């Protein structure tokens, strides 16, 4: 990990911050490597319950550092290499949040352009200031979204709307983003609200939360038959388990639950 991304852990909640504020957290190769490394670390962190993802300084992420893009072309980056399961390295920095076993809550302010919008879209829940500026920026540079955007936007954004925004790279704000599906809800203090939400989630049965995320990830891409079977399998594993019984006991006793991982 480098100083491009910071990570702190407190009571099962990971606070991850993009940390290149002088460049509005624009993505260079060092930051891309650092984000991928943090995702890898979180995927094996014991006791992890939720993740909050935000950006330091004036904005969430301004997208790709175009000087860095020229350098990657010169180095002949192998875009077809599947380095992280189904994803290449660039896709991993957005898709990796969706693939983590626990919920990820993004808190966005300032801008979320291009790759920054795709990283934001990788979160399970996306809180944003009303004045957040967003754009599927890639067409401005004569390229297409290639950091898992189309896979992440499936089921979130209506097809014709996605086409219009991709073809034109039109900028829109957080208020419009709610109606379009890019943002979950608005907040004047998205980071504080995201951390509060993460604490709430961290207080739920961790096995049930992880099962719910697995089912949610299936919803956009699998058949009804497979989803129904997966629901039954997940529920069968939860019913009568120690954490499920603790959830019942704690609620009946009106006390905080004490879950185990």
- Interval 167-193: pLDDT, tens: 999 999 999 999 999 999 999 999 999
Domain-by-domain residue ranges, the chain? 5-201, 205-253
Q: Would the pTM of this model clear 0.85, i.e. be above it?
A: yes
Angstrom distances, CA of residue 118 to CA of 23, 98, 100: 18, 11, 16
Architecture of domain 5-201: Alpha-Beta Complex (3.90)
In degrees and rounded to multiples of 5, residue 6 shows phi and psi of -110, 150
Take residue 149 and report the two structure tokens written for it: 């955007």
pLDDT (average), residues 90-105: 96
Q: Strands, E, within the chain: which ranges?
A: 5-10, 13-18, 50-55, 104-108, 111-113, 125-128, 133-135, 172-173, 185-186
Residues of the chain with pLDDT > 70, as a percent, come to 96
Class for the domain spanning 205-253: mainly alpha
Range in 50-54, 86-90, 104-108, 162-166 with the lowest mean pLDDT: 86-90
Q: Do residues 188 and 175 make contact, with C-beta atoms less than 8 angstroms apart?
A: no
- Give the mean model confidence (pLDDT) for residues 119-133: 98
Alpha-carbon span 72 to 81, nearest angstrom: 14
- Determine the average pLDDT of the residues in 124-142: 95
CA dist 17 and 54 (Å) reads 5
């Amino acid at each position: 990990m480098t100083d491009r991304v910071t990570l702190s852990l407190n009571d099962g909640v990971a606070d991850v911050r993009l940390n290149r504020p002088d460049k509005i957290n624009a993505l260079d190769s060092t930051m891309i490597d650092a984000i991928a490394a943090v995702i890898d670390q979180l995927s094996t962190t014991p006791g992890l319950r939720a993740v909050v993802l935000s950006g330091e300084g004036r904005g969430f992420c301004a997208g790709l550092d175009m000087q860095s893009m020229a350098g990657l072309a010169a180095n002949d980056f192998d875009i077809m290499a599947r380095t992280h399961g189904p994803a290449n390295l660039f896709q991993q920095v957005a898709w990796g949040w969706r693939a983590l076993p626990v919920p990820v809550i993004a808190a966005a302010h300032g801008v979320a352009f291009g790759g920054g919008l795709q990283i934001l879209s990788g979160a399970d829940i996306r809180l944003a200031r009303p004045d957040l500026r967003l754009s599927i920026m890639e067409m401005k540079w004569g390229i297409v979204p290639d950091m898992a955007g189309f896979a992440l936007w499936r089921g979130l954004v209506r097809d014709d709307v996605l086409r219009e925004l991709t073809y034109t790279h039109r900028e829109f704000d957080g208020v419009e983003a709610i109606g379009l599906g890019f943002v979950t809800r608005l907040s004047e203090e998205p980071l504080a609200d995201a951390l509060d939400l993460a604490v709430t989630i961290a207080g739920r049965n961790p096995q049930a939360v992880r099962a719910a995320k697995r089912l949610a990830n299936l919803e956009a891409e699998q058949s009804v038959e497979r989803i129904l079977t997966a629901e039954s399998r997940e529920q069968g594993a939860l019913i009568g388990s120690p954490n499920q019984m603790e959830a019942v006991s704690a609620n009946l006793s009106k006390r905080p639950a004490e879950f185990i991982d």
